[in-house]
Amino acid sequence: MSAELILQVKDVCKRFGGLQALTEVSFDLGEGEILGLIGPNGAGKTTLFNVINGVYPPERGQVIFRGEDITGKPSYEMARRGLARAHQVVRPLADLTVRENVMVGACFGREHHGLRASRRLADEALTRVGLLDRADQPSGNLNVAQKKRLEMARALAAKPYLLLLDEVLAGLNPAEIAAMMDTVRAIRDQGVTILMIEHVMQAVMSVSDRILVLDYGILIATGLPEDVANNPLVIEAYLGDPKMTAKLLAE
């Protein structure tokens, strides 16, 4: 494997009964990239994430992370190897404080820290996402945007090499989206590679170095955001209206 590649997905297939959720999906992700993953509802995006981080084993294909075959290994082992995930549906441990939630990520992450070090790492992660001032509050008291940031902080406290972000912009207003995109860029600039699923098209097109497009479990396009936005297959399958291209690229 090239030293510059952090993730390789090779011919991955996943089936649920009679539903073929993923069909021979292949792509590479370079260290330091932000790679956007888009597609219609039901295209297989979250299923692909679940295969990458060990929730589901694929029927066929390989997932190579940092040069090692991790296909089908459990999620807790992925976290220990430096692959963390922020989920679409945020479920913080409501009885714990914001800081304690993030400490969980540090305790069970790549470096497997004890409580004292985990507290320090939690505060560092909360600072990175702008939540340190709420560290001692019950996590159940946070609003949606703050819970999204808490989910990201918990993943960052695991000290990942690669961070999977599953619709971190869902439910946010325009100002919150802009702030979250600044946070995503800052995380990448601090050395974390990012693979993100997103439906907020203007945001994902502006922040991503490259874009992947899934449709019915098939990878139909990959490339620079402007190339993907002008791809006829993508317009037909997802964007729906050629006028959307100009709007996306104008942002």
195-223: per-residue pLDDT in tens? 999 988 889 999 999 999 999 999 999 99
Query: Mean pLDDT lowest for which of 26-40, 166-180, 235-249?
Result: 235-249
| 165 and 146 fall within a common domain | no
Q: Which of 68, 66, 69, 70 is nearest to 3 (CA)?
A: 66
pLDDT at 229: 86
pLDDT at residue number 202? 85
Per-residue pLDDT band at 1 (split at 50, 70, 90) = very low
Q: Are 175 and 247 in a shared domain?
A: yes
Q: What CATH number is given to the structural domain containing 72? A: 3.40.50.300
Which of 84, 100, 101 is CA-nearest to residue 155? 84
User: What is the pTM for the complete model shown?
Assistant: 0.88
Among candidate residues 122, 138, 160, the one where a domain is terminated: 160
Mean per-residue pLDDT over the chain, rounded: 90
Tell me, what's the pLDDT at 17? Answer: 92
Task: Specify the pLDDT at position 239.
Answer: 61
Query: What pLDDT does 240 receive?
Result: 61
The predicted pLDDT at position 242 comes to: 52
Same domain, 94 and 210: no
> Do 93 and 125 share a domain, yes or no?
yes
Does one domain contain both 136 and 165? no
Start-to-end C-alpha separation, the chain: 36
Tokens coding 6: 């952090």
Percent pLDDT > 70 in the chain is: 93
Structural domain tally of the chain? 2
Q: Where does the pLDDT of residue 249 fall: very low under 50, low under 70, confident under 90, or very high at 90 and above? A: very low
Examine the fold and report which residue of 113, 129, 160 is the final residue of a domain before the chain moves on.
Answer: 160
Q: What is the pLDDT of residues 42-96, one digit of tens each?
A: 899 999 999 999 999 999 999 999 999 999 999 999 999 999 999 888 888 888 9
pLDDT of res. 2: 43
Residues in the chain: 251
Q: Domain check: are 8 and 49 in the same one?
A: yes
Write out the residue range of the structural domain in which residue 193 sits. 1-82+161-251
